Structure formats: C-alpha cells, structure tokens
C-alpha cells in the first residue's frame, strides 16, 4: 500500500510542475476547458498508473577460490573519467562559506540558488494550498533563495536545481526524505515559500521544513545541525554523562544469548527475503544493531564481528559479511541516482533507483559503525588481519570510487570517508595503499564538494584527509 501511495504522489507532483499560469487574456473557463481536453487526450493515450512493482535484479557475481565476492572492475572507473572537478592547488582546508559561490568547475552543482524576483511566477490556483507554506514580506526572492540554499548546505541536504523551473529546488536529506522547495510571487509583491514532502519520514521532513522557513525569514543560521534535534541520551552513552559522579547506577542490562540469537535471526531473515521492503527493514535493523548507543555493547560487538570477518563462526548459517559486501561492491553506475533524481544511463523507475540507493547507503552506515566500534576497542587490526589483502584490493577501491562520486551522491561519500579514515588509523599499510590508489586526490575532491554543498561531507572528508596525512607529516 505504501508503494502505491508514493507512486501516485510522485505522479501528482510531476503533473503539478507542468501547470503554468494562464497567459494574459484567457479566462478561467477557457483554461479549464483546455485543461479538460488535454487531460482527456492524455487519458486516452496512456493508462493511469496505480501501482509499482520493484523487482530484484539478478546478476552473476564473481568469487575467488575461497568463495569471497570480487568487486566488479567496471564499477571503479578512473577518477578523471568520473569527476571533472579539479582540486585547488592551495591548502585543502575548509574555507569560510560564501552563499554566492558560483559553479566554476563545470561538474559540481552550483550551491547558490539565484531567483529573479521580477520573473517569479504566481502559484497556480488549481491545486490546493499546502499547509507547509509561508509568506515572506519585505525580502527579495534572490535573498530568500540564497538563505534557503545556505540553510540546506548547513543541514547536509542535497539540493538539485530544476533547469526548466528556476523557482524549484529538489531536496534529499540524510534520512532519505525527498521534498521540493518552491518560491512563488503573491499579489502584494511578497514571496510565498512552499515545501512539499514527496517520500520519507514526516518527522525528519518537518525538522528541515521549519529550518527552511526560518532561513527564508532571515533568521540567523548558526551552524545548524540535525544533532540538535536528537535527545542527549541518543547522542552520548550514559557512561560519559557528568551526573555519574554523584550517582550510583545499577549494572547495565545485557542481552541474553537467546535474545541476541533471536534478534539476529530475524534480521538475517529480512535481509535474505525476496521482498524488497523486508530487505530495507533488515538493513535498518542491522544499522541499529551495530550502534552501541542504540543497543548493548556486547550485541553490537558480535554483529560487527560478523560484518568484518567472513570466517566468523556465527556466519555459517547466513554470512552477514558476504551479504553486506555484495551490496557495497556491486555498485553499478546505473543504480546511482544522478543529479536529477533518476537513474543514470538507463530508463528505470525512480522508485527502484531510490530503493537501491537508500539500501546501499544503510549498508555503508552499518559498515562504518562496525569499523568505528572495533577501532575504539583496538580490535580492528587483529580482526581484519587475515583478510587484509581482500580489504586492500576490493573494499578500498570501492570506497575511493564513492569519494570520486561526491558530486552526484554526497551521502555515499560521507560514509566512505568515515570508513577510509578508520581503516587508515588502524593500519599504516592500508593508509599507504589508499594514497597509492589516489585516495588523497579523491578526498580533496570530496572536501571541496562538501565545502560548497554538504557540511557533513566537508567535516568527514577533512577528518579522512588528516588520517591519511598523519603518517607523512603533511597536515
């Protein structure tokens, strides 16, 4: 049912974008008649879509003599073929952000959203006014659009400007909630700001929606972060809170072996299901089970060990490592949503592209959690030592490829930089192999893109660059 509703919502949105204000001299009755004739003609030519089916793509996968998945070589083209953005020859440190930065590289999306107030269209009156709208008086549309652009950059929301409609910006936040921001002119010369949710979590949408409205009204942007909306008990472990100095707490609850086995069994069944919705639920569960802030530490350690080590004894029934890495390594470019929100290189449904992109993003987050947890316990080097060559020849090139794709998908680049940073800190050999594979150039590209467009990426890429340069004293 949810897929049907989302598809209808997308179709309505696309139809809405085609509606233009009536030209001067045409009466509403004439326009209604023409719209009725056009809709009747379209209905006769094309049947109305009421459902969508997402079918899992079956592909042949290469394995080595030990049954390990081998990455597809065609999914790792050279950096010069993927991104034409040239890193600056000066220091790659993050510069102060200027909301009027222009796109001078040709490949990076321009982060400045310049809307001409004089040509701003009025809102069509044949579609009900959304509740998520706000009218701003006394401000130019160009100023409002630049403030919104800067707000979205600070909140790490991917913004894509519509080429055919200058008043429209398509957005995708870190929770993979898709929404549109439109600017319209009112009769009294004010600017109407409309934020329209398409898919995704409503709570996450409302946080970004309120931030957009505050920015449109000219309120101060003080390095807004989504962490500000997260309760403190989800940001820090209880053991790091100051009140422990004066209180004595009971011993923490631990998950019994039976409870752990049941939870991981349920996750494995969801991941191995032939239903795509079940796969998504299983991956979301895996992300939670690798986060010690959302589950007990012993369970997080057990699940993370299964992700990092393919030969772990608990992987006999369902190998979490092979399943997760198959999603990460099989990164065909046709499955990556491009700047316009559609699949690149082939005509496929937007729903399938959205599903595959979100599933891989969650898989990268689970891997990042597992690497960080074992690194904090000084167990990462010993855990991956027997598979170090596989990590070097398969996983690291994939992560560097994701960094080079920062322009089209900053979400991948964020988690890729975190994984590379953790691996570089754990092994000097891995850090050197990363640099030999073009890791520094890829990190600089990602950092420049993050500085322009995606604050979270700028921070993660800078941390990764520092990790790679510590050994050579290049900081």
pLDDT tops 80 at residue 443 = yes
Reported as a pLDDT band with limits 50, 70 and 90, residue 69 is low
Reported as a pLDDT band with limits 50, 70 and 90, residue 91 is very low
pLDDT tops 90 at residue 185 = yes
pLDDT in tens, 365-383: 999 999 999 999 999 999 9
Rounded to whole angstroms, the Cα distance separating 21 from 123 reads: 7
**pLDDT greater at residue 7 or residue 132:** 132
pLDDT tops 50 at residue 89 = no
The model carries a pTM of 0.70
**pLDDT greater at residue 360 or residue 79:** 360
Q: 171 in helix, strand or coil?
A: strand
Rounded to whole angstroms, the Cα distance separating 21 from 35 reads: 12
Q: What is the mean pLDDT of the chain?
A: 75
Q: Would you state the pLDDT for residue 330?
A: 79
Q: Would you state the pLDDT for residue 221?
A: 62
Instruction: Kindly list the structural domains of the chain, giving each domain's residue range(s) and its CATH number in brackets, ordered by start.
Output: 115-226 (3.30.310.80), 289-472 (no CATH)
Give mean pLDDT, residues 30-40: 44
Reported as a pLDDT band with limits 50, 70 and 90, residue 438 is very high
**Is the Cβ–Cβ distance between 69 and 329 less than 8 Å?**
yes
Q: Supply angle C-alpha 63, 66, 70, rounded to 5.
A: 30
Give mean pLDDT, residues 8-23: 41
Q: Would you state the pLDDT for residue 353?
A: 83
Rounded to whole angstroms, the Cα distance separating 1 from 294 reads: 29
Phi, psi (degrees; rounded to nearest 5) at 228: -65, -25
**Pairing outcome for strands 168-172 and 158-161:** antiparallel
Give mean pLDDT, residues 100-104: 34
Reported as a pLDDT band with limits 50, 70 and 90, residue 250 is low
pLDDT in tens, 196-233: 999 999 999 999 999 999 999 988 765 444 445 555 55
Rounded to whole angstroms, the Cα distance separating 117 from 191 reads: 9
Q: Would you state the pLDDT for residue 83?
A: 28
**Pairing outcome for strands 178-185 and 133-136:** unpaired
pLDDT tops 70 at residue 310 = yes
Q: Would you state the pLDDT for residue 392?
A: 93
Reported as a pLDDT band with limits 50, 70 and 90, residue 252 is low
Q: Would you state the pLDDT for residue 331?
A: 58
Q: Would you state the pLDDT for residue 236?
A: 58
Reported as a pLDDT band with limits 50, 70 and 90, residue 50 is very low
pLDDT in tens, 273-286: 999 999 999 999 99
pLDDT tops 80 at residue 31 = no
As a whole-number percent, the residues of the chain with pLDDT over 70 amount to 64
Query: Which residues, other chains included, contact 262 with Cβ-Cβ below 8 Å and sequence gap of 6+?
Result: none
Q: Would you state the pLDDT for residue 444?
A: 94
| CB environment 322-352: b (16+ within 10 A), e (fewer) | ebbbebbbbbbbebbbbeebebbeeeebbbb
Q: Would you state the pLDDT for residue 220?
A: 74
Q: What is the 3-state secondary structure (H, E, C) of 289-346?
A: HCCCCCCCHHHHHHHHHHHHCCCCHHHCCCCHHHHHHHHHHCCCHHHCECCCCCECCC
Q: Would you state the pLDDT for residue 127?
A: 85
Give mean pLDDT, residues 443-452: 93
């Amino acid at each position: 049912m949810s897929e049907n509703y989302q598809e209808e919502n997308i179709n309505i949105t696309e139809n809405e974008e085609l509606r233009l204000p009536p030209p001067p001299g045409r009466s509403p009755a004439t326009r209604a008649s023409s719209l009725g004739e056009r809709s009747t003609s379209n209905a006769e030519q094309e049947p109305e879509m009421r459902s969508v089916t997402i079918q899992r793509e079956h592909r042949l996968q290469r394995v080595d003599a030990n049954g390990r998945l081998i990455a597809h070589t065609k999914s790792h083209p050279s950096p010069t073929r993927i991104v034409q953005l040239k890193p600056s020859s000066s220091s790659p440190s993050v510069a102060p952000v200027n909301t009027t930065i222009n796109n001078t590289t040709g490949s990076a999306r321009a982060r400045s959203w310049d809307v001409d107030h004089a040509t701003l269209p009025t809102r069509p009156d044949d579609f009900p006014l959304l509740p998520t709208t706000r009218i701003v008086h006394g401000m130019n549309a160009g100023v409002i659009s630049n403030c919104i652009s800067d707000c979205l950059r600070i909140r790490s929301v991917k913004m894509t400007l519509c080429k055919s409609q200058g008043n429209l910006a398509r957005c995708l936040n870190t929770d993979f909630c898709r929404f549109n921001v439109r600017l319209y002119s009112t009769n009294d010369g004010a600017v109407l700001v409309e934020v329209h949710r398409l898919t995704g979590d409503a709570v996450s949408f409302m946080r970004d929606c309120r931030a957009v409205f505050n920015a449109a009204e000219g309120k101060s942007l003080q390095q807004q972060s989504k962490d500000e909306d997260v309760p403190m008990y989800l940001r820090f472990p209880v053991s790091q809170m100051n009140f422990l100095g004066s209180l004595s707490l009971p011993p923490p609850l631990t998950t019994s072996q039976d409870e752990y086995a049941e939870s991981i069994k349920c996750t494995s069944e969801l991941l191995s299901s032939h239903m795509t919705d079940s796969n998504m639920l299983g991956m979301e569960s895996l992300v939670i089970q690798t986060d010690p802030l959302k589950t007990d530490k012993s369970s997080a350690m057990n699940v993370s060990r299964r992700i990092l080590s393919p030969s772990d004894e608990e992987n006999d029934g369902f190998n979490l490592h092979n399943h997760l890495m198959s999603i990460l390594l099989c990164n065909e470019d046709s499955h990556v949503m491009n700047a316009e929100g559609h699949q690149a290189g082939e005509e496929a449904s937007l729903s399938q592209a959205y599903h595959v992109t979100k599933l891989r993003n969650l898989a990268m987050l689970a891997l990042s959690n597992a690497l960080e947890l074992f690194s904090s316990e000084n167990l990462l080097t010993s855990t991956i030592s027997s598979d170090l060559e596989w990590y070097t020849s398969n996983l690291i090139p994939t992560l560097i490829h994701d960094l080079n794709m920062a322009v089209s998908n900053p979400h991948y680049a964020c988690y890729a930089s975190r994984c590379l940073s953790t691996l570089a800190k754990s092994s000097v050999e891995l850090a050197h192999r990363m640099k030999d594979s073009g890791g520094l150039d890829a990190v600089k590209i990602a950092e420049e893109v993050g500085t322009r467009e995606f604050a979270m990426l700028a921070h993660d890429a800078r941390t990764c660059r520092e990790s790679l340069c510590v050994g050579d004293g290049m900081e």
